[in-house]
């Protein structure tokens, strides 16, 4: 079963969403989330294995 795109799902319900694949992207996403009104989902992929 395919997993949903959680950032897109959050946006569909009126929130914000981001995908962070590196520490720099996570830092930017958290910074933006802290200044965005409402909820934000930040998806951080886990390495396989």
pLDDT tens figures, 25-34: 999 999 999 9
pTM score of the predicted model = 0.82
Does the pLDDT at position 39 exceed 80? Answer: yes
Q: Do the Cβ atoms of 17 and 43 come closer than 8 Å?
A: yes
Please give, one letter per residue, the 3-state secondary structure of 7-18: HHHHHHCCCEEE
First to last CA, the chain: 19
The rounded mean pLDDT for the chain is: 94
Does the pLDDT at position 1 exceed 80? Answer: no
């Amino acid at each position: 079963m395919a997993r949903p795109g959680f950032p897109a799902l959050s946006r569909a319900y009126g929130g914000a969403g981001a995908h962070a694949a590196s520490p720099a992207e996570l830092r930017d996403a958290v910074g933006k989330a802290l200044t965005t009104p409402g909820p934000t989902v930040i998806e951080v992929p886990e390495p396989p294995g």
